[in-house]
């Protein structure tokens, strides 16, 4: 593949709702550009983007894939992202390195939740946007309805560049409003045609909207507009390009990915209106790893090299592939670079351009371009590779928090190590996967973004690493404590020929008030009834005892134990005897001091549109939650609540269902509180059944 300069490159993320047609459109663009002779189809499992076995089996995208397309002496790096929310980490990777986004909307389904999310991702990364309305070949499709929805939700920046031409109910072409010329679809290409009669009323407001946007971009053009002078095509296109980059104009184009209509125009528009990596406004900033000072990274091949690894692909047979974008300089094969995050040197042997699963070897990747390198030893997603002479750390990727949790169990005994190894490799590929070992409850916890994400992880473990797992509801880490003060005696006396064993302690047990600490030990011995050298044995007895409470065997917290009296034998007493006496006193004291079960309480923040406030608050109340307050958050509402952890199982799925996937939440452990009596009884009963 030819090496392109930064001015000739367009890095574009394809975003949109799941099933809106992103992969089909990417396939159509590749076909128009001559990469494929026959356009692949999702249902046939032969598209360039969806090459993973899981994607082919399920019929939708799971991973972001790269499809470089050569068009009009430019290289368009298409990043086809998944639309389903369980895989939003992949979309975040793509938007981090893209210079612009094309949001795909179905002309039939209109603006969906995924459209709103796609807009949010692009806004978050402050990249220009273009909208492509697909499925226009469907008789139910309506560009007018879609435009009305887009304007209602996203405002006046929406600017349609095309108006469909219909014959009967069929979409046969469009009017290019920028050039005011008709275009008709003839088999696999577009031909110029006259604008049909009777379209003036439809075209006039659209044309006026574009001319107003052009006038607002420049004072001279504004004067020209008010004086009634016509703009030249160059003035219009230049102003539109600048407006797109500044975010004041979001072009809307239309066509059909399946029938390949409007795709050629889309490719032309990408080259014409979307930004190259090297535009005047583009300033990328990194940090000096030693001083934390900001460094300006210029997109120029003559600058020192810096690149961000934005995605990792792990294959059991090929090994690890790291996808990167070069932000400055030239990344060359057979070179060494510094991994700033790991403070380690990496040797680059071969460099590739990936087109789906195809690897095209190249000698170098220049500033602004995207490539891949195999078998880096110590580089992860989000790491910066750079010239050792100018260390710089580029901004990483902000992944969504993974809050859907299941306990992992092997289907076959003895597979624990294979599971651990497989999950570790999948975590390299997908940073939204998290594994936590809960030694207290003897379970391995797997965290993902949602139920579908967890299901895909288990399928990948089976397909790639030949290990089957079951996912179950995780156990809740309850605690036990006491409510009142008691004084008890623990005495261990044993005579068995020769030296006997003797230890006698009188301990006061009471609530310490600190439920983050298992126990506090004090001694108030008078007159040497227990010698000082046995105090550590008493402490050790307490230390071992707090691991198991008397109600359901959960760890004990918030207990203060004061050694107040006791007795010893000059010959038979030992550390072991005092330790045993202490454990007896502990059990007795726990029973007498009104033991209770504590449940973990989590602090929950839910962000939802206003319309869902009532449903969310009602649901949190049903979960025994306590709403503490509400704050406005970027046009939405943030609800702050405290909820028992046991009630939050499956909340990510329930929240999506209640808010049509518009809601987000985070949670973190807050404290332990006394569980209601009915909950205590259920937990005790469940523990008995386990035994």
Angstrom distance (rounded) from CA 308 to CA 306: 7
**Residue 686: pLDDT band by 50, 70, 90 thresholds?**
confident
User: Is residue 359 a contact partner of residue 373, using CB atoms and an 8 Å limit?
Assistant: no
pLDDT, average across residues 144-150? 92
- Give me the percent of the chain exceeding a pLDDT of 90: 69
Q: What are phi and psi of 49, to 5 degrees?
A: -70, -55
Tell me the CB-side half-sphere exposure of residue 132, using CA atoms within 13 A: 32
pLDDT tens digits for range 480-527: 999 999 999 999 998 766 678 999 999 999 999 999 999 999 999 887
What residues contact residue 690 under an 8 Å CB cut-off, 6+ apart?
A: none
- Alpha-helical (H) ranges within 555-674 are 575-592, 613-622, 651-659
Angstrom distance (rounded) from CA 491 to CA 500: 13
Angstrom distance (rounded) from CA 189 to CA 176: 15
Task: Give 610's DSSP letter.
Answer: G
Q: Which residues pair with 68 in a beta bridge?
A: 77
Helices 233-246 and 200-216: crossing angle, nearest 10°? 70
Q: What are phi and psi of 631, to 5 degrees?
A: -135, 140
Tell which residue, 669, 684, 525, has the closest CA to residue 603: 669
pLDDT, average across residues 409-436? 92
Strand 351-355, strand 358-362: pairing: antiparallel
- List C-alpha distances in Å: 479 to 93, 517, 518, 542, 626: 40, 11, 10, 16, 21
User: Is residue 562 a contact partner of residue 524, using CB atoms and an 8 Å limit?
Assistant: yes
pLDDT for 392 equals 96
pLDDT tens digits for range 613-653: 999 999 999 999 999 999 998 788 999 999 999 999 999 99
Helices 22-32 and 263-273: crossing angle, nearest 10°? 90
Angstrom distance (rounded) from CA 117 to CA 120: 5
Tell me the CB-side half-sphere exposure of residue 563, using CA atoms within 13 A: 30
User: Is residue 163 a contact partner of residue 206, using CB atoms and an 8 Å limit?
Assistant: yes
User: Is residue 669 a contact partner of residue 602, using CB atoms and an 8 Å limit?
Assistant: yes
Quickly list DSSP for 46-89. Answer: --SS--SHHHHHHTS--S-EEEEEEETTEEEEEEE---SGGGHH
Tell me the CB-side half-sphere exposure of residue 364, using CA atoms within 13 A: 14
* Cβ atoms within 10 Å, residue 305: 26
User: Is residue 418 a contact partner of residue 462, using CB atoms and an 8 Å limit?
Assistant: no
Task: Give 404's DSSP letter.
Answer: E
Angstrom distance (rounded) from CA 219 to CA 425: 56
**Could you give the angle at the alpha carbon of 133 between the alpha carbons of 95 and 611, nearest 5°?**
75
- Rounding to the nearest 10 degrees, give the CA dihedral for residues 138, 143, 148, 150: 90
pLDDT, average across residues 395-408? 93
Q: 598-690 has which CATH code?
A: 3.30.70.240
User: Is residue 560 a contact partner of residue 509, using CB atoms and an 8 Å limit?
Assistant: yes
Angstrom distance (rounded) from CA 383 to CA 257: 35
pLDDT, average across residues 220-230? 88
Q: Where are the domains of the chain?
A: 6-273, 306-394, 404-472, 479-593, 598-690
Confidence check: pLDDT of 167 > 70: yes
pLDDT for 171 equals 82
Secondary structure class of 543 (helix, strand, coil)? helix
Confidence check: pLDDT of 181 > 80: yes
User: Domain 479-593 belongs to what architecture?
Assistant: 2-Layer Sandwich (3.30)
What residues contact residue 326 under an 8 Å CB cut-off, 6+ apart?
A: 305, 306, 307, 365, 366, 367, 368, 369, 370, 371
CATH 3.40.50.1470 fits 306-394, yes or no: no
Q: What are phi and psi of 70, to 5 degrees?
A: -95, 125
- Alpha-helical (H) ranges within 302-450 are 416-429
pLDDT for 597 equals 96
Largest CA distance in the chain: 117
Confidence check: pLDDT of 230 > 80: yes
pLDDT for 498 equals 65
Confidence check: pLDDT of 189 > 90: no
Confidence check: pLDDT of 671 > 90: yes
**Residue 257: pLDDT band by 50, 70, 90 thresholds?**
confident
Domains 404-472 and 598-690 share a fold: yes
pLDDT for 75 equals 97
pLDDT for 628 equals 96
pTM of the model: 0.88
Lowest-confidence region among 125-129, 283-287, 480-484: 283-287
Tell me the CB-side half-sphere exposure of residue 61, using CA atoms within 13 A: 36
Tell which residue, 14, 16, 17, has the closest CA to residue 27: 14
pLDDT tens digits for range 24-53: 999 999 999 999 988 888 988 899 988 888
**Residue 371: pLDDT band by 50, 70, 90 thresholds?**
very high
- Surface-to-core class of residue 386, CB atoms within 10 Å of its CB (0-12 exposed, 13-18 middle, 19+ buried): buried
* Cβ atoms within 10 Å, residue 435: 15
pLDDT for 281 equals 59
Confidence check: pLDDT of 112 > 70: yes
**Residue 383: pLDDT band by 50, 70, 90 thresholds?**
very high
pLDDT, average across residues 275-287? 82
User: Is residue 303 a contact partner of residue 277, using CB atoms and an 8 Å limit?
Assistant: no
Which of the following CATH numbers is that of domain 404-472: 3.30.70.870, 3.40.50.11390, 3.30.365.10, 3.20.20.70?
3.30.70.870
Confidence check: pLDDT of 691 > 70: no
- List C-alpha distances in Å: 266 to 83, 211, 492: 20, 21, 86
C-alpha 153, offset from chain centre: 24
Angstrom distance (rounded) from CA 451 to CA 1: 40
**Residue 658: pLDDT band by 50, 70, 90 thresholds?**
very high
Q: Which residues pair with 307 in a beta bridge?
A: 326, 385
Tokens 């300089």, located at residue: 329
Confidence check: pLDDT of 143 > 80: yes
Confidence check: pLDDT of 557 > 90: yes
Q: For the chain, what is the mean pLDDT?
A: 91
Secondary structure class of 198 (helix, strand, coil)? coil
pLDDT for 439 equals 86
Angstrom distance (rounded) from CA 13 to CA 78: 6
Tokens 């990510």, located at residue: 652
Q: Which residue has the higher pLDDT, 52 or 100?
A: 100
Computed from CA positions of residues 268, 270, 274, 275, in that sequence, does the dihedral angle turn out positive or negative? negative
- List C-alpha distances in Å: 233 to 177, 236, 518: 11, 5, 76
What residues contact residue 284 under an 8 Å CB cut-off, 6+ apart?
A: 296, 297, 298, 299, 327, 328, 394
Confidence check: pLDDT of 609 > 70: yes
Tell which residue, 615, 632, 635, has the closest CA to residue 623: 615
CATH 3.40.630.40 fits 6-273, yes or no: no
pLDDT, average across residues 328-354? 94
pLDDT for 283 equals 75
Secondary structure class of 446 (helix, strand, coil)? strand
Helices 535-545 and 575-592: crossing angle, nearest 10°? 50
């Amino acid at each position: 593949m030819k090496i392109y300069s930064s001015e000739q490159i367009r890095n574009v993320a394809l975003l949109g709702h799941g099933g809106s047609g992103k992969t089909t459109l990417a396939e159509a663009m590749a076909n128009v550009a001559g990469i494929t002779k026959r356009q692949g189809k999702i249902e046939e499992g032969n598209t360039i983007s969806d090459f993973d076995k899981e994607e082919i089996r399920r019929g939708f995208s799971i991973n972001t894939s790269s499809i470089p397309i050569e068009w009009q002496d430019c290289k368009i790096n298409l990043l086809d992202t998944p639309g389903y929310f369980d895989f939003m980490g992949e979309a975040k990777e793509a938007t981090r390195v893209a210079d612009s986004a094309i949001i795909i909307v179905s002309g039939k389904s209109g603006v969906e939740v995924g459209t709103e999310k796609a807009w949010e991702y692009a806004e978050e990364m402050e990249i220009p946007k273009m909208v492509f309305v697909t499925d226009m070949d469907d008789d139910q499709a309506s560009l007018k309805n879609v435009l009305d929805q887009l304007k209602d939700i996203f405002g006046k920046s929406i600017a349609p560049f095309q108006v469909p031409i219909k014959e009967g109910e069929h979409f046969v072409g469009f009017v290019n409003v920028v050039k005011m010329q008709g275009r008709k679809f003839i088999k696999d290409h577009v031909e110029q045609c006259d604008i049909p009669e009777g379209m003036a009323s439809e075209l006039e407001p659209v044309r006026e909207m574009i001319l107003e946007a052009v006038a607002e971009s420049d004072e001279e053009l504004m004067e020209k507009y008010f004086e009634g002078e016509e703009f030249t095509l160059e003035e219009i296109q230049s102003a539109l390009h600048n407006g797109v980059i500044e975010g004041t104009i979001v072009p809307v184009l239309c066509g059909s990915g399946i029938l390949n209509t409007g795709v050629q125009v889309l490719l032309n528009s990408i080259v014409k209106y979307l930004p190259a990596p090297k535009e005047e406004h583009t300033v990328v900033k990194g940090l000096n790893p030693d001083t934390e000072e900001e460094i300006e990274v210029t997109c120029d091949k003559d600058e020192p090299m810096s690149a961000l690894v934005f995605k990792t692909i792990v294959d059991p047979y090929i090994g690890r592939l790291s996808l990167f974008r070069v932000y400055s300089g030239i990344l060359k094969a057979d070179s060494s670079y510094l991994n700033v995050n790991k403070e380690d040197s990496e040797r680059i042997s071969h460099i590739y351009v990936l087109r789906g699963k195809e690897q095209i070897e190249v000698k170098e990747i220049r500033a602004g371009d995207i490539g891949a390198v195999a078998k880096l030893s110590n580089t992860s997603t989000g790491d910066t590779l750079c010239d050792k002479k100018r260390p710089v750390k580029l901004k990483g990727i902000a992944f969504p928090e993974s809050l859907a949790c299941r306990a992992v169990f092997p289907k076959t005994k003895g597979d624990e190590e294979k599971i651990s190894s497989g999950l570790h490799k999948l975590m390299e590929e997908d940073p939204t996967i998290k594994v936590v070992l809960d030694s207290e409850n003897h379970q391995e916890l797997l965290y993902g973004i949602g139920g579908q994400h967890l299901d895909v992880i288990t399928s990948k473990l089976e397909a790639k690493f030949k290990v089957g797992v079951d996912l179950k509801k995780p156990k809740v880490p309850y605690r036990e404590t006491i409510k009142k003060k008691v004084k008890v005696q623990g005495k261990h006396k044993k005579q068995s020929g020769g030296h006997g064993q003797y230890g006698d302690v009188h301990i006061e047990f009471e609530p310490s008030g600190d439920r983050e600490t298992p126990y506090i030990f004090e001694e108030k011995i008078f007159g040497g009834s227990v010698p000082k050298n046995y105090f550590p044995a008493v402490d050790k007895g307490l230390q071992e005892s707090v691991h198991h409470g008397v109600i359901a065997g959960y760890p004990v917290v918030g207990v203060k134990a004061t050694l107040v009296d006791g007795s010893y034998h000059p010959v038979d007493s030992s550390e072991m005897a005092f330790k045993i006496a202490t454990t007896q006193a502990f059990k007795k004291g726990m029973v007498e001091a009104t033991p209770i079960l504590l449940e973990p309480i989590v602090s929950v923040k839910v962000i939802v549109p206003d319309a869902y406030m009532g449903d969310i608050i009602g649901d949190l109340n049903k979960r025994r939650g306590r709403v503490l307050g509400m704050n406005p958050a970027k046009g939405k509402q943030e609800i702050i609540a405290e909820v028992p952890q046991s009630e939050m199982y499956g909340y990510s799925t329930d929240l999506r269902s209640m808010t049509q996937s518009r809601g987000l939440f985070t949670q973190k452990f807050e404290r332990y509180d006394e569980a209601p009596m009915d909950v205590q009884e259920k937990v005790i009963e469940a523990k008995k059944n386990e035994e």
